[in-house]
A and B are shown apart, each in its own frame.
Chain A
Amino acid sequence: MYTQGLDQKGENAGRRLDDAGLLAAFQARIDAEEKIEAKDWMPDAYRRTLIRQISQHAHSEIIGMQPEGNWLTRAPSLRRKAILLAKVQDEAGHGLYLYSAAETLGTSRGQMVADLLSGKAKYSSIFNYPTLTWADIGAIGWLVDGAAIMNQIPLCRCSYGPYARAMVRICKEESFHQRQGFEIMLMLSRGSAEQKAMAQDALNRWWWPSLMMFGPGDADSKHSAQSMAWKIKRFSNDELRQKFVDVTVPQAEFLGIRVPDDDLKFNAQTGHYEFGEIDWQEFFDVLAGNGPCNRQRLEKRQRAHDDGAWVREAAHAYAEKHGQRAAA
């Protein structure tokens, strides 16, 4: 998931308008682990939360094609090029399923894309970091997709049926993405001194932004409680972050590269790794548009949209012309 629990505000407004009986019945269905489907009654706030979360997730898939696309033409072997192309293609596919899942809630892809381009809708800020070397492609697969999987597996059990079902397929593909990323890192870490340095540098740059992907700490994540009650969310941001650290640190050790955190240590009593303080200022800066690539990512999307306008117009004109001819 690339949703981070962003722009959570105004979620309570709809609740008082909804009938208390309907709400209670709705909650009872959720508590009984029933799936909510598109045509079922649902509170406005539940609908809005899902539209926001699913569209953010879709936008993240689409924007996420850019940092990886940056290395498609320079992949170092034909096999790597093929894997990366397949991965980027999967991401476009994920974006499509997710836009479709969000459309079941009464929005449209056109509206969602307009919100992305205007800056109103967010996407995961991890994609506002640049991919500077080939090792970054490894690090994105290993860390970014690794973090995404931690978030996404519980979403396969999300209370909203269309989202949960889309996530089942997406998770299968994400796990392939994560493995290919780790494999790139493994090759680099077993390679020449230059390649190993490349892998270490990528870990240095991607480690902290990856931890930020889980969103603010539980104490600062005010709306997580409602999403948990609705079973959109199953684990808290901090729980998922801890799980990610616990899984990933031994992998870094296996690769023989160092996690860039002087405070990192294993606590034998808790069975968990303790890690240093996250620089939340950086997180909020990037979120606010002040990351290395925010402007570039949106500009590229806007350019594709603008450059494609004449093509979409032609397709509409053709369909209209021939629809009319067929009807005549």
Chain B
Amino acid sequence: MTSDQALTRYLLRLGDNALILAQRLSELVASGPELEEELATANFALDYLGQARMFYSRACELEGAGRTEDDMAFLRGEREFENLLLLEQPNHHFGDTIVRQVLFDSFYLLQLEALINCGDQGLADIAARAHKEIRYHLRHSSQWLVRLGDGTDKSHARVQESLHRLWRYSGELFDGDAVDEILRQEFNGPDLVSIREQWRAGLQTLLATATLTVPEDQWMDSGGRQGRHTEHFGYLLAEMQYLQRSFPGASW
């Protein structure tokens, strides 16, 4: 793998993460616990979608094969997406959504922070922009995690359960492969080992404030970076790609 190939793949992964989370969040429109929350969810989905489009566009530019952001989103198959498994998990209830947001965004924020100084200017510029958005998202979802954790007995139990349910997808966040390694060595990319330490420390503080317990490190699921997904993913893709697949070559 050349360094440009690794960079392209890394950008695609960032795009996949952002797109799949945007897709999950957009399922939640018109079903929030408060109107303000519906507005926030749509707003967050829009931010991730905007980021996905920028990552894909930069990846397409580097690839130089004439593919577009829509080719990436709508014409790749299940095994070609390399998003984290955490992000494709179904929404379930509000507590699950918030835990998914906190687990991912507290990692993503650190990842973006490191990428602001990376060796590819295109990626660094996108990271700087995304970082501002994600900082706000994390503040919002962290506040909810605290309210739910330290709210009623019911909310505490529910969100603790969400944490247990989704914890098994958190190991993969730091489970880097050759692509991550090339990024780190040749593009001054994130060091996943140090990010993991910062992530754990931050999360421990947050969970303590929320009166929640950090789950024990159990068996961790993984496979996103290799395009090996959970069963939920095929349905997500089938729904998202349906029009492009039904009318090949059409413009919309």
Nearest-neighbour CB distance to chain A for B234, whole angstroms, equals 14
Task: Find out whether the CB atom of A66 lies under 8 angstroms from the CB atom of B251.
Answer: no
Given A78-B52, A311-B148, decide whether A73 and B23 contact each other with a Cβ distance below 8 A.
yes
Give the interface segment out of A46-54, A189-197, A223-231.
A189-197
Task: Find out whether the CB atom of A134 lies under 8 angstroms from the CB atom of B27.
Answer: no
Residue among A62, A81, A109, A307 with most chain B CB within 10 A? A81
B59-95 toward A: CB 8 Å interface, digit per residue (1/0)? 0000000000110011000000000000000000111
Task: Find out whether the CB atom of B147 lies under 8 angstroms from the CB atom of A315.
Answer: yes
In the complex formed, the residue of A with least CB distance to B210 is: A318
- Tell me, yes or no, whether A312 is within 8 Å of chain B by CB: yes
Nearest-neighbour CB distance to chain B for A283, whole angstroms, equals 25
Within 8 A of A (CB), among B124-155: 146-148, 150-152, 154-155
Measured in the bound complex, the distance between the Cα atoms of B34 and A314 in whole Å is: 13
Task: Find out whether the CB atom of B30 lies under 8 angstroms from the CB atom of A300.
Answer: yes
- Tell me, yes or no, whether B35 is within 8 Å of chain A by CB: yes
B32 touches which of A76, A82, A308 (Cβ 8 Å): A308
Nearest-neighbour CB distance to chain A for B154, whole angstroms, equals 6
Task: Find out whether the CB atom of A73 lies under 8 angstroms from the CB atom of B151.
Answer: no
B40-57 toward A: CB 8 Å interface, digit per residue (1/0)? 001101100110110010
Given A96-B39, A310-B152, decide whether A72 and B50 contact each other with a Cβ distance below 8 A.
no
Measured in the bound complex, the distance between the Cα atoms of B70 and A83 in whole Å is: 15
A313 touches which of B35, B73, B74, B151 (Cβ 8 Å): B151
Q: Chain B contacts of A62 at CB under 8 A? A: 30, 35
Q: How many residues of A contact B (CB 8 A)?
A: 50
Task: Find out whether the CB atom of B93 lies under 8 angstroms from the CB atom of A82.
Answer: no
- Tell me, yes or no, whether B36 is within 8 Å of chain A by CB: yes
Nearest-neighbour CB distance to chain A for B92, whole angstroms, equals 10
Within 8 A of B (CB), among A53-77: 62, 65-66, 69, 72-77
A136-147 toward B: CB 8 Å interface, digit per residue (1/0)? 000000000000
Q: Chain B contacts of A88 at CB under 8 A? A: 29-30, 42
A81-106 toward B: CB 8 Å interface, digit per residue (1/0)? 11001101100110110010000000
Q: Chain B contacts of A307 at CB under 8 A? A: 31, 33, 93-94
Task: Find out whether the CB atom of B148 lies under 8 angstroms from the CB atom of A92.
Answer: no
- Tell me, yes or no, whether A317 is within 8 Å of chain B by CB: yes
Q: Chain A contacts of B196 at CB under 8 A? A: none
A314 touches which of B151, B239, B242 (Cβ 8 Å): B151
Task: Find out whether the CB atom of A314 lies under 8 angstroms from the CB atom of B52.
Answer: no
Measured in the bound complex, the distance between the Cα atoms of B28 and A89 in whole Å is: 12
- Tell me, yes or no, whether B247 is within 8 Å of chain A by CB: yes
Task: Find out whether the CB atom of B155 lies under 8 angstroms from the CB atom of A311.
Answer: yes
Task: Find out whether the CB atom of B152 lies under 8 angstroms from the CB atom of A317.
Answer: yes
Nearest-neighbour CB distance to chain A for B35, whole angstroms, equals 6
Task: Find out whether the CB atom of A72 lies under 8 angstroms from the CB atom of B35.
Answer: no
Task: Find out whether the CB atom of B94 lies under 8 angstroms from the CB atom of A308.
Answer: yes
Task: Find out whether the CB atom of B29 lies under 8 angstroms from the CB atom of A72.
Answer: yes
Task: Find out whether the CB atom of B43 lies under 8 angstroms from the CB atom of A318.
Answer: no
Within 8 A of A (CB), among B82-118: 93-95
Given A82-B49, A314-B148, decide whether A308 and B250 contact each other with a Cβ distance below 8 A.
no
Measured in the bound complex, the distance between the Cα atoms of B250 and A75 in whole Å is: 13
B239 touches which of A74, A184, A315 (Cβ 8 Å): A74
- Tell me, yes or no, whether B38 is within 8 Å of chain A by CB: yes
Residue among B19, B33, B37 with most chain A CB within 10 A? B33
- Tell me, yes or no, whether B26 is within 8 Å of chain A by CB: yes
B226-247 toward A: CB 8 Å interface, digit per residue (1/0)? 0000000000000110111001
B155 touches which of A66, A99, A313 (Cβ 8 Å): A313
- Tell me, yes or no, whether A187 is within 8 Å of chain B by CB: yes
Measured in the bound complex, the distance between the Cα atoms of B70 and A88 in whole Å is: 21
B35 touches which of A78, A92, A317 (Cβ 8 Å): A92
Q: Chain A contacts of B50 at CB under 8 A? A: 82
B212-223 toward A: CB 8 Å interface, digit per residue (1/0)? 000000000000
A74 touches which of B22, B56, B240 (Cβ 8 Å): B240
Nearest-neighbour CB distance to chain A for B16, whole angstroms, equals 13
Task: Find out whether the CB atom of A308 lies under 8 angstroms from the CB atom of B33.
Answer: yes
Nearest-neighbour CB distance to chain A for B131, whole angstroms, equals 20
A96 touches which of B31, B33, B35, B240 (Cβ 8 Å): B35
Task: Find out whether the CB atom of B158 lies under 8 angstroms from the CB atom of A85.
Answer: no
A77 touches which of B32, B33, B52, B252 (Cβ 8 Å): B252
- Tell me, yes or no, whether A20 is within 8 Å of chain B by CB: no
A-B contact pairs, 15 of them (CB 8 A): A62-B30, A74-B243, A75-B243, A78-B49, A80-B252, A82-B49, A92-B42, A187-B251, A191-B250, A300-B30, A307-B31, A308-B34, A311-B94, A312-B34, A313-B155
A-B residue pairs, 7 tightest by C-beta: A308-B33, A314-B151, A314-B155, A89-B42, A311-B33, A76-B243, A76-B252
Point out residues on A near B: beta carbons under 8 Å: 62, 65-66, 69, 72-82, 85-86, 88-89, 92-93, 95-96, 99, 109, 134, 184, 187-188, 191-192, 194-195, 300-301, 303-304, 307-318, 321
